[in-house]
């Protein structure tokens, strides 16, 4: 067992974990933050994407012990004071989700994408989300949702 | 949405989904999110062999592993019946073999479950699986459906000689033979519709809890049909009263057919929970989902299409080997028969058609319905062959389609293959609209120019028709279709005494937005605020028996049940209002949430007033029961038949074989549209899965029966950069089958798209002499097709 | 989905990691970005008894520009390398290559040192390391040594590293006037690895190709140079005909792999096609 201290969504947690415990299992099983999902076992699907120290990672491909001392942001920590993040708003407005299973990972990946490139083309959005699989939407409305958020975060009028 | 921003009529409006707020904030409750006190975790040991005798299983080390609660094998669960096959092919003998909950004596495919570990957590359960020792005696393996029927092929089951599940046919063989013999032109191909893995982003799983005091089970499971699972598990697998099981589908992370069926984990979590006295959770890993949960498609088809040089199609003859896997899944034989063979002529008037289908056992995962289920295979076949025929006679493929379409005045249209008649259609209108959007004539010029410069552009047309609402008891319920029951749907609508409306339905969404769509209908029909309508579903406790959500049936069948119940509520409300206003019930008008006396709109009662009156019930018309509460079991008179035309434009790089899908245009006609945003979303997702089949996805078994594409590292589910934006449009031909005029949209995109892309690829490759190639059009397959055509010419 | 148990050590220094490697021998594996190792652990394709986490060793971080060379800490992530101004200016092909690996999340975690040490036959960085003549700097119980990229990749998942050595940095040249390099790749649709990846470097002197190096990954069991193709281009003007001839000479000396995504025959043909594409772009860049 190893003792780790992790700040998740602004709250500090100290836990004893097996070294082999995956970060995603730590978040889901230990901290009950079940918004982060698991969709594969080979690091392809991106359902488990969270931010660790500000950058997006696949939390199924990181050990919880490797997050010791880190700052983690999950989907549950994205809305502030009851106010949806522009990405959450964009996904809702643009019908960027259907079953919603990939959505938390997709939103967290898009968060990093927009942080790296606040004014992406549609093509750049598509490439920026290549680590996330959605089986429902065909991505058409996900691209629109991300562009909605990008415009809003730049302080511009949201696209129709 | 607030009252001020809501339009007065919601039907037809792009209302944002009420399902979304919890899902975008991480507050959804999917199966693996559920934790129960004392819950244990199950892990399954699976066969590494595709076909073997189990000589011995030693679980002693696993049982001794710290944290392990119990270990079970198939021998322990002999009190459970095998899982049932509920839809056998109609009018023919089906040699039925269905899976046991855990294998007994012999395994038939890689992933067949052999032992079950229950432990304190999932890490321990997984570790203990590695401690089970199984001795196998490998047996010969066959994975190809056609080879499996040949003499000398390895045999899977004693009661299925030559591995044949059933031989089924439709149409008129003598007429088709004659048409082909007499034709000016006959085109022949072997067309393979490759095996696919549905891949909902959430894998499957179950959690079971048992109450010893009452003998009652609760099962949470990732199901598209919880009532059906309740019936099947109690009546068929356990042999206990149906009342002893409650089934709940939590948020379900996509289904695409794979989550319709009864799976072993539903039964073993229940069985083990009862045995150990603690709740049991099982959730598949993705690799397990790929090995064990159902796959789709996997047809090998020999097809001949006959016609005249003027472009008239005169005959079609089809022989299909449908690989159904190692055992029969819940509705497997119905897919390549009723949902494939009966619509093999597509959107065309073909006077002589015959189809023969062999269902076949092989040492592979079970094959059952996957989005479209039979109809994509049929649509791919006919649309590919129409293009093949057009190329053969040197006629424009759009023109050949026009020439052979079932014309608008021919509806209702009987295709002669045992379907109910096609309800309505205007196929040419959809084709013309798609051609106009894509700029067909202009494209043909560009294509010509590009070829001169060594660039290979191609365009592919797919004019499809499909079957939704496969429910009418007078058809699907007859022994001839093998289902043995109607697939009607239920809805209960209650107006509570505060005027709030509660709808319970047997339909349930896993991405389709059923809550939103149904609430739009109810709000409009009852004239109440949208936010005053709640849609409850997915729990057998508290919803009337219903068949669930699949087959694009939720709106045309489930939505109609809601609509009918609302109509009954309105009738009762009118009677109560008449009583309250001392008017004649026949003179009452229901409008915008009020009932008034005809000609005196200011003499009215609101629905809330009426509901209160109905609830307190001290002053109701003589003999009337209290409460506004109406239930409908809606059995539609016919299926619905959505249609449309999809067009793809590609550019092929002949050096590498890489296909660049440059444009995708979809014109769909699904009748009237309740929520265009949701319908577009359904079409988008469907298109993506069809493009995926055309360009990327295939499940591959090697000759030893190992699943080569066993993870998402090898099975290429497309990501965003692998798909184009979609240009969607609609024509609207209301269905006469139901008063809403709706048809269904959940599968249309998938049914339409693969052949649009493949026809485009083959069109692009036509200068090389390529006439056909199999899916997927991966770079290597395209590259090889070019070289093979060059070598042949 | 669940790794087998292991002992875990988070090394703070390279020396500590080397000490742990010596102590645990073949049972130990180094964990850097984890994007090759952790998926293998989860599928239990690998079950090391000991994991030595070097992802926080500060000595392995950082990118420095040193006159005509870039020294890239082995623990630099693909993201850090792709974004680094010195790399983008001095060795753009490296930034391009690592900037397209996997996806954003892979690039945020995956490291150059991890990739070179793992030597996946389909990984992208070995091709670029070969084409640019990179040097892999390692530290072991006997001190530091340098391995030329040409000598690094020995076979399938096998390198010239000893089991007790740690890659500390990788040295890449800064390309000057008359030099150009490019990477062209046929991407695996699911894994995003290379089905075939070709990195090409060319140098012109007085309008003539004076040096050429080509590294190929994905096609065979190990990344290799293409000496025949390189020789075919050297001494030419680097025009289309010369490039075509060189590309046509590519493809030898590769122990071709075949699988459902690409047969050996197809990979062989694609080595030629992507060699031509990489060379064409490298020549274009060299000519400025």
CB contact under 8 A, C8 and A109: no
- What residue of C is the nearest CA neighbor of A108? C105
| CB pairs < 8 Å spanning A and C | 89
B722 reaches C (C-beta below 8 A): yes
Domain C179-286 listed as CATH 3.30.390.50: yes
Q: What is the separation of C-alpha B363 from the centre of its chain, rounded to a whole number of angstroms?
A: 24
| Residue limits of CATH 3.30.390.50 in chain C | 179-286
Stated as kind and residue range, the H or E segment containing C33 is none
Asked if B658 and C186 come within 8 Å (Cβ–Cβ), the reply is yes
A88 vs B: CB within 8 A: yes
Question: Nearest residue of A to residue B289 by CA position?
Answer: A40
Nearest residue in chain A measured CA to CA from B715: A44
| CATH class for the region spanning C58-173 | alpha beta
Nearest to B712 among C190, C269, C273 (CB): C190
Paired tokens of B632: 């409908």
**What is the tens place of the pLDDT at every residue in B460-498?**
999 999 999 999 998 988 777 888 788 999 999 999 999
Q: Which fold would CATH assign to domain A86-153?
A: DNA polymerase; domain 1 (1.10.150)
CA distance B697 to chain A (A): 13
Residues B582-603: what's their mean pLDDT?
96
Q: Testing the interface with A: which of B18, B21, B23, B24 to mutate, by most A Cβ within 10 A?
A: B24
Kindly report the CATH number that applies to the domain delimited by A2-76: 3.10.20.30
Six-digit token string for B786: 């070019």
* Residues in chain C closer than 8 A to B126 (CB atoms): 1-2
Residues of chain A falling short of pLDDT 50: none
Using DSSP, state whether B371 is helix, strand or coil: coil
C231 touches chain B (CB under 8 A): no
Predicted confidence (pLDDT) per residue in C116-175, tens digit: 999 999 999 999 999 999 999 999 999 999 999 999 999 999 999 999 999 999 999 999
Q: B780 and C261 in contact by Cβ < 8 A?
A: yes
Is the pLDDT at B6 greater than 70? The verdict is: no
The CA distance from A98 to the nearest CA of chain C, in Å, is: 23
Task: For domain C7-53, say whether CATH 3.30.43.10 is its number.
Answer: yes
Mean pLDDT for B354-382 is: 98
Contact residues on chain C for A113, CB-CB shorter than 8 A: 104
Q: What's residue B4's pLDDT?
A: 45
Positions of E strands within B564-707: 588-591, 594-597, 600-606, 628-634, 643-653, 658-669
Helix (H, G, I), strand (E, B) or coil at C82: helix
The three-state secondary structure class of B354 is strand
Q: Is the pLDDT reported for residue B282 higher than 70?
A: yes
Mean pLDDT of the residues in chain C: 97
- Mean pLDDT, chain B, whole residue set: 97
Residue B708 in this model has a pLDDT that exceeds 60:
yes
Rounded to an integer, the average pLDDT of C43-66 is 96
Domain with CATH 3.30.43.10 in chain C: 7-53
Describe the strand order of the beta sheet including B185-196 as a list of residue ranges.
B164-171, B352-361, B313-325, B296-307, B185-196
- Strands B456-465 and B643-653, bridge-based pairing: antiparallel
Assign B7 a pLDDT band (cuts: 50, 70, 90). low
Optimal mutation site among B18, B26, B39, B43, interface A, most CBs of chain A within 10 A: B26
ipTM: 0.98
Q: What is the rounded CA–CA span in Å between residue C78 and residue C74? A: 10
Q: Is C189 touching A (CB cutoff 8 A)? A: no
Q: Which domains does chain B have, with CATH numbers?
A: 39-139+204-283 (3.90.1170.50), 376-466+639-792 (3.30.365.10), 489-634 (3.30.365.10)
Residues of C in contact with B48 (CB under 8 A): none
Question: Quick one: average pLDDT of B231-257?
Answer: 97
- The answer to whether B727 and B618 have CB atoms below 8 angstroms apart is no
Interface test with A, best of B5, B17, B23 (most A CBs within 10 A): B23
pLDDT-derived band at B529, boundaries 50, 70, 90: very high
Where in chain A are all domains bearing CATH 3.10.20.30?
Answer: 2-76
Helix (H) or strand (E) holding B517: helix B514-526
What is the rounded distance in angstroms from the CA atom of residue C278 to the CA atom of residue C124?
14
- In the prediction, which pLDDT does A70 show? 98
Q: Which residues of A touch B281 (CB under 8 A)?
A: none
Compare CB distances from C262 to B123, B658, B780 and report the shortest one's residue.
Answer: B780
Is residue C116 a contact partner of residue C129, using CB atoms and an 8 Å limit?
yes
Q: Say which DSSP state A85 is in.
A: P
Residue range(s) in chain A whose domain bears CATH number 1.10.150.120: 86-153
């Amino acid at each position: 067992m190893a003792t780790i201290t992790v700040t998740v969504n602004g709250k500090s947690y100290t836990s004893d974990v097996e070294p082999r415990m995956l970060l995603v299992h730590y978040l889901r099983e230990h901290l009950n933050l079940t918004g982060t999902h698991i969709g594969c076992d080979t690091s392809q699907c991106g359902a488990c994407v969270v931010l660790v120290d500000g950058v997006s990672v696949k939390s199924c491909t990181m050990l919880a012990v490797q997050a010791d001392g880190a700052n983690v942001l999950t989907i549950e920590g994205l809305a502030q004071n009851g106010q949806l993040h522009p990405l959450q708003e964009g996904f809702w407005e643009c019908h960027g989700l259907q079953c919603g299973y990939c959505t938390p990972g997709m939103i967290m990946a898009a968060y990093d994408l927009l942080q790296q490139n606040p004014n992406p083309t549609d093509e750049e959005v598509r490439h920026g989300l290549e680590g996330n699989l959605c089986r429902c939407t065909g991505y058409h409305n996900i691209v629109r949702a991300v562009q909605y958020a990008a415009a809003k975060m730049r302080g511009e009028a949201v696209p129709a | 949405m607030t009252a001020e921003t809501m339009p007065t009529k919601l039907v037809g409006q792009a209302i944002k989904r009420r399902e979304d707020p919890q899902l975008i904030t991480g507050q959804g409750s999917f199966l693996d999110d559920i934790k129960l006190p004392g819950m244990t975790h199950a892990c399954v040991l699976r066969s590494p062999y595709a076909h073997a005798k189990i000589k011995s299983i030693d679980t002693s080390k696993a049982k001794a592993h710290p944290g392990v609660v119990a270990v079970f094998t198939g021998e322990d669960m002999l009190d459970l019946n095998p899982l049932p096959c509920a839809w056998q092919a109609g009018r023919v003998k089906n040699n039925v073999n269905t899976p046991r909950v855990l294998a007994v004596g012999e395994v038939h495919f890689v992933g067949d479950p052999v032992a079950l570990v229950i432990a304190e957590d999932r890490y321990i359960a997984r570790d203990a699986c590695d401690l089970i020792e199984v001795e196998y005696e490998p047996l010969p393996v066959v994975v190809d459906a056609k080879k499996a029927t040949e003499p000398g092929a390895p045999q899977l089951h004693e009661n299925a000689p030559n591995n044949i599940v059933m031989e089924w046919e439709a149409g008129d063989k003598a007429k088709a033979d004659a048409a082909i013999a007499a034709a000016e032109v006959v085109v022949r191909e072997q067309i393979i519709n490759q095996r696919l893995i549905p891949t909902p982003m959430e894998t499957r799983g179950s959690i079971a809890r048992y109450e010893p005091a009452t003998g009652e089970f609760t099962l949470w499971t990732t199901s598209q049909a919880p009532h059906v699972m309740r019936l099947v598990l109690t009546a068929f697998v356990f042999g206990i009263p149906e009342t002893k099981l409650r089934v709940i589908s939590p948020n379900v992370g996509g289904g695409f057919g794979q989550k319709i069926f009864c799976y072993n984990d539903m039964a073993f979590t229940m069985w083990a929970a009862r045995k150990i006295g603690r709740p049991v959770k099982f959730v598949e890993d993705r690799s397990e989902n790929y090995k064990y949960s159902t796959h789709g498609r996997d047809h090998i088809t020999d097809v001949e299409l006959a016609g005249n040089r003027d472009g008239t199609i005169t005959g079609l003859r089809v022989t299909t080997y449908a690989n159904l896997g190692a055992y029969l899944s819940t509705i497997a034989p119905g897919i390549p028969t009723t949902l494939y063979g009966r619509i093999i002529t597509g959107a065309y008037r073909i006077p002589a058609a015959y189809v023969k289908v062999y269902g076949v056992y092989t040492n592979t995962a079970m094959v059952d319905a996957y989005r479209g289920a039979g109809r994509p295979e049929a649509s791919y076949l006919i649309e590919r062959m129409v293009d093949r025929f057009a190329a053969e006679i040197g006629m424009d493929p759009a023109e050949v389609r026009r020439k052979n379409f079932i014309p608008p005045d021919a509806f209702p249209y009987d295709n002669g293959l045992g379907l109910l008649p096609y309800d309505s259609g205007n196929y040419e209108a959809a084709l013309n609209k798609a051609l106009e959007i894509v700029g067909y004539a202009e494209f043909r010029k560009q294509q010509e120019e590009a070829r001169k410069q060594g660039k290979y552009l191609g365009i592919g047309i797919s004019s499809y028709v499909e079957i939704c609402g496969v429910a009418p008891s007078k058809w699907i319920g007859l022994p001839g279709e093998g289902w043995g029951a109607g697939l009607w749907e239920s809805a209960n609508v209650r107006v509570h005494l505060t005027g709030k409306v509660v709808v319970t339905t047997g339909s349930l969404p896993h991405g389709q937005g059923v809550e939103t769509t149904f609430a739009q209908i109810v709000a409009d029909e009852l004239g109440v605020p949208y936010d005053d309508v709640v849609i409850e579903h997915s729990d057998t406790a508290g919803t009337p028996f219903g068949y669930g959500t699949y087959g694009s049936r939720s709106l045309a069948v489930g939505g109609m049940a809601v609509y009918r119940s609302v109509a009954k509520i309105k009738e009762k409300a009118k009677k109560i209002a008449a009583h309250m206003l001392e008017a004649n019930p026949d003179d009452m008008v229901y409008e915008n949430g009020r009932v008034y006396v005809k000609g005196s709109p200011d003499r009215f009662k609101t629905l809330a007033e009426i509901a209160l009156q109905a609830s307190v019930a001290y002053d109701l018309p003589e003999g009337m029961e209290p409460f506004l509460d109406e239930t409908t079991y809606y059995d539609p008179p016919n299926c619905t038949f959505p249609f449309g035309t999809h067009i793809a434009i590609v550019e092929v790089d002949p050096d590498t074989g890489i296909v660049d899908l440059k444009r995708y245009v979809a014109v769909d006609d699904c009748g009237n549209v309740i929520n265009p945003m949701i319908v577009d979303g359904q079409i988008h997702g469907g298109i993506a899965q069809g493009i995926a089949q055309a360009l990327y996805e295939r499940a591959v078994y090697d000759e030893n029966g190992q699943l080569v594409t066993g993870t998402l590292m090898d099975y290429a589910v497309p990501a965003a950069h692998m798909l184009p934006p979609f240009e969607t449009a609609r024509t609207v031909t209301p269905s006469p089958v139901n008063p809403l005029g709706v048809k269904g949209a959940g599968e249309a995109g998938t049914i339409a798209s693969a052949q649009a892309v493949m026809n485009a690829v083959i069109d692009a490759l036509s200068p090389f002499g390529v006439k056909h190639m199999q899916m997927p059009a991966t770079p290597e397959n395209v590259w090889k097709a070019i070289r093979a055509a060059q070598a042949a010419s | 989905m669940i790794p087998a148990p292991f002992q875990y050590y988070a090394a703070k220094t390279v020396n500590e990691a080397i000490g742990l490697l010596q102590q645990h021998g073949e049972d130990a594996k180094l964990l850097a970005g984890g994007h090759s190792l952790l998926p293998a652990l989860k599928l239990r394709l690998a079950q090391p008894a000991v994991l030595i986490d070097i992802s926080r060793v500060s000595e392995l971080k950082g990118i420095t520009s040193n006159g005509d060379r870039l020294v890239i800490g082995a623990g630099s992530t693909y993201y850090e390398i792709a974004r680094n101004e010195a790399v983008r200016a001095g060795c753009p092909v490296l930034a391009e290559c690592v900037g397209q690996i996997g996806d954003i999340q892979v690039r945020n975690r995956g490291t150059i040192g991890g990739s070179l040490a793992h030597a996946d036959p389909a990984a992208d960085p070995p091709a670029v390391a070969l084409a640019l003549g990179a040097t892999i700097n390692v530290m072991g119980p006997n001190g530091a040594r340098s391995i030329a990229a040409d000598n690094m990749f020995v076979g399938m998942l096998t390198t010239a590293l000893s089991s007790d050595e740690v890659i500390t940095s990788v040295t890449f040249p800064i390309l000057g006037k008359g030099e150009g390099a490019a990477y062209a790749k046929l991407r695996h649709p699911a894994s995003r690895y290379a089905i075939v990846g070709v990195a090409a470097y060319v140098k012109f002197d007085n309008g003539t190709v004076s040096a050429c190096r080509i590294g190929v990954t994905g096609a065979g069991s190990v990344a290799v140079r293409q000496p025949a193709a390189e020789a075919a281009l050297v001494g030419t003007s680097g025009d289309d005909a010369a490039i075509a001839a060189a590309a046509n000479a590519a493809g030898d000396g590769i122990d071709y792999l075949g699988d459902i995504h690409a047969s050996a025959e197809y990979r062989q043909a694609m080595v030629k096609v992507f060699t031509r594409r990489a060379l064409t772009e490298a020549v274009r860049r060299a000519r400025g």
